[in-house]
Structure 1
């Protein structure tokens, strides 16, 4: 049975800067012992890119008053090479706007080997939430070995995650799986947009402090996090990670075609950890972003607000919250 972790919302954080401190642990990576052909290492998997048989048209909205225009564009943080998502209308908007605003960013230029302020803040945050008990020892005996096997298969040093918040281990595993499937942050929408704005010398900013968002995530009940990890490990046979030929690209295709489907988000309400994560990652942030947009409309300007597409779906979407505040978002793509 392939490994799955029921955390689709974690993909919303894929564009976040991640770092971790090394700590001494007593647990050692466990050597994979599986049937011939089924003991996978993520580094050995050759990704199979998705096939697009359609013209892309990801969702975009326009919010405007007398002297302010905000284009709202739902992004995908990580994408596979060659995945098409740009349109003539998007390129027109890119040429027209004066600035771009992302969810978060770490643009501080530092010398090679040095850490940025946000990376240092993250290290301090991880130390604050450090646990003396390794994650593996908080798991059931049957899943303890699986967890260490999974870290080893994903080339994640146990020392990097064992004493940190369980959520950081989950993030590291999910990101390793996403990268093994062929998606990269360097090919994500924000990375592409940022490079073009830097080249043109236009302003780039962020709507929030992502270190604070991470801290809010860390404050989710740890027992709930461990239970979610237990569930994923219990359903995994400890050997096969995934078949690259069977990777499900349906979410990427739906996004590129501008389809809004909250089905994945609704599934999170069936799981206590999913419900908690939904509240922290979507509802709370969308509420804060709604306040930001309403206030920003008081200033003249022409800007692009590029944030994760998951924030545009469901009953607590940014578009819905803006509508409830009397701000109309007209979909233009």
Structure 2
């Protein structure tokens, strides 16, 4: 079972990495400032609106981890966010960032497991050992981990080496702004549920996830940059096509982390249309495009999402 590098980047940036989630519980970050109109006109992460007579839901595609100094909040999205009643996120960790440690220990570590290398093919064991050395993680620290936890541990270390942090992610900034302007905050899933998604994967899929994490580390930055560029260009269909290709290699991983969650979220969103008010729903960009994405699922339920157009650059004055 092989997963291509672009899917590795997607796992790192579009799936809520359990070990990176404590960034959402850190001290409040500065609320994000809107990008300058000219910059926003060039690249604006996509947003859509579904509405009826008394309900308006803005859907905003996010990236969970980004490099420093990314400007992505357009004036249009800022205006919609600031006039909303509620921010909806995928999840939010407890205030005590270590509260989840017992659950991670219970589901991710087993003292009776053989060494990790013994559970992998020789090639995969060599790749994991190399990745652990590059990350400065003693291989023995991974030995009693389930493959999913080893994958997330190495993934978080890889992002750190690339200068990419969940503390710079879109959700952290939106959460800070919501708290600043005193908006209600709702989550679609609990942290325990998200940990369960990974822990519940069959061993073959956990190993595929681990192999994807350590594969082709030479091109990791290029793959991440490409994914972020697709997001900034608003091309969620291109992201969806990458995921669809990998569905053939790891259908269970695709179902658990994307397709299944999209079906549940689309049902929840349809239910919210019966409640008056305005909501701002911010979830990963990998959840929107393609036949299994939120836009297609909402359309099947009778809700056509209107894409927010990027701002037009101001016309130059003639001399």
Q: Counterpart of 2:98?
A: 115
When normalised by structure 2's length, the TM-score is 0.79
Give distance in 2, aligned partners of 1:209 and 1:283: 18
Deviation at 1:83, TM superposition (A): 2.0
Q: Counterpart of 2:170?
A: 189
1:268 aligns with 2:246: yes
Preserved contact between residue 85 and residue 278 of structure 2 (Cα < 8 Å)? yes
Give distance in 2, aligned partners of 1:53 and 1:295: 32
Give distance in 2, aligned partners of 1:53 and 1:299: 32
Q: Which runs of 5 or more structure 1 residues have no equivalent in the other structure?
A: 20-51
Q: Counterpart of 1:74?
A: 61
2:92 aligned residue (97, 105, 110): 105
Q: Counterpart of 2:312?
A: none
SS at match of 1:295: helix
Give distance in 2, aligned partners of 1:282 and 1:314: 11
Give distance in 1, aligned partners of 2:189 and 2:131: 33
Preserved contact between residue 107 and residue 199 of structure 2 (Cα < 8 Å)? no
Give distance in 2, aligned partners of 1:149 and 1:58: 35
Give distance in 1, aligned partners of 2:213 and 2:87: 38
1:87 aligns with 2:69: no
1:280 aligned residue (252, 256, 268): 256
TM alignment of 1:1-333, pairs within 5 A:
7-11=8-12, 12-17=14-19, 55-106=42-93, 108-110=94-96, 115-116=98-99, 118-127=100-109, 132-226=113-207, 229=210, 241-242=217-218, 249-260=225-236, 261=238, 262-271=240-249, 273=250, 275-333=251-309
- Per-residue CA distance 1:272-295 (angstroms, 9 max, x = gap): x3x211111111100110111111
Q: Which runs of 5 or more structure 2 residues have no equivalent in the other structure?
A: 22-38, 310-319
Give the CA RMSD over aligned residues.
2.9
Deviates more, 1:155-164 or 1:308-317: 155-164
SS at match of 2:43: coil
Preserved contact between residue 71 and residue 304 of structure 1 (Cα < 8 Å)? yes
Preserved contact between residue 216 and residue 280 of structure 1 (Cα < 8 Å)? yes
Give distance in 1, aligned partners of 2:233 and 2:146: 36
SS at match of 2:42: coil
SS at match of 2:61: strand
- Per-residue CA distance 1:259-309 (angstroms, 9 max, x = gap): 2212311221241x3x21111111110011011111112222211000001
- Per-residue CA distance 1:147-191 (angstroms, 9 max, x = gap): 223212112343543222211211222222222222111111101
Q: Flag the 1:149–1:70 CA change in 2: closer, same or farther, 3 A.
A: same
Q: Counterpart of 1:47?
A: none
Structure 1 or 2: larger helix share? 2
